[in-house]
């Protein structure tokens, strides 16, 4: 069964969504603040997130930026302006539905996102690099490389955007956790460690720095 995280601080709306999902046989995890949501995401294999934007602590917009793109996010918010919708969608949300919402529409949007997520190839490939989702490792020329969780997150973001520069801020948002407050120096250390692991197998450079902006896969 699919596991859905409901991030909503309004008790009545939270209860309504939770009961609706459980009737459809989804496993529901609940968070009432942004901080609680990030902890649950870190410690669970979440298949989809239903996210309010106006939350105590860390707001929904910041959660969108921090969550790995492999987890689909449907924003459920009272904010109705096009500016709010466009911004959060460009930052990484997969869908946006305004309150009040129709139950049947919400369930349909959930099904669509879960289907799209299932159809995507979990293993990302670029040149002769393959990132393996199941065991969180990287394979180059049939050699398997063990990655830390942070290194895996960095490589996944780079491989999801092989022809684009991934900004330092985007990577820092993804790898900063309650246990590790990363800055540019620590990000560079993580990148350096990934490069060292790759060099044990091949001298080809796969990651290049774009001065003052971030990192990208070398073309």
The model carries a pTM of 0.60
Report d(CA 3, CA 20) in Å as an integer.
14
The predicted structure's pLDDT at residue 129:
87
> What 8-state DSSP symbol labels residue 134?
T
Let me know: does 113 contact 104? Beta carbons within 8 Å. Answer: no
SS3 for 10?
Answer: coil
DSSP string, 19-38: HHHHHTT-EEEEESSHHHHH
- Helix 184-199 × helix 149-160 angle, to 10°: 90
Q: Exposure of 21 by Cβ count < 10 A (0-12 exposed, 13-18 middle, 19+ buried)?
A: buried
DSSP string, 143-186: EEEE--HHHHHHHHHHHHSTTSPEEHHHHHHHH--SS----HHH
The predicted-structure confidence for 134-183, as pLDDT tens digits, reads as follows: 778 888 988 899 999 899 989 988 988 888 899 998 898 888 864 567 78
Q: Is the dihedral of CA 156, 115, 119, 89 positive or negative?
A: negative
SS3 for 122?
Answer: coil
Report d(CA 191, CA 211) in Å as an integer.
14
The predicted-structure confidence for 92-119, as pLDDT tens digits, reads as follows: 899 999 999 999 999 999 999 988 776 5
């Amino acid at each position: 069964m699919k596991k859905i995280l409901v991030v909503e601080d309004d008790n009545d709306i939270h209860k309504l969504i939770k009961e609706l999902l459980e009737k459809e046989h989804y496993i529901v995890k609940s968070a009432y603040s942004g901080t609680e949501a990030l902890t649950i995401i870190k410690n669970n294999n979440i298949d989809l997130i239903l996210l309010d934007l106006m939350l105590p602590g860390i707001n929904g917009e910041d959660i969108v930026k921090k969550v790995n793109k492999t987890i689909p996010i449907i924003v459920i918010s009272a904010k109705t302006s096009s500016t709010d919708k466009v911004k959060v969608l460009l930052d990484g949300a997969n869908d946006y539905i305004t309150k009040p919402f129709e139950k049947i529409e919400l369930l349909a949007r959930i099904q669509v996102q879960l289907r799209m997520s299932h159809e995507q190839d979990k293993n990302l490939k670029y040149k002769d690099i393959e990132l393996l989702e199941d065991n969180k490792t990287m394979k180059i020329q049939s050699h398997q490389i063990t990655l830390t969780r942070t290194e895996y997150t960095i490589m996944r973001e780079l491989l999801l955007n092989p022809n684009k520069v991934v900004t330092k801020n985007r990577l820092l948002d993804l790898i900063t956790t309650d246990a590790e407050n990363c800055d540019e120096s620590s990000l560079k250390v993580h990148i350096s460690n990934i490069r060292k692991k790759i060099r044990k197998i091949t001298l080809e450079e796969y990651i290049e720095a774009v001065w003052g902006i971030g990192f990208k896969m070398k073309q």
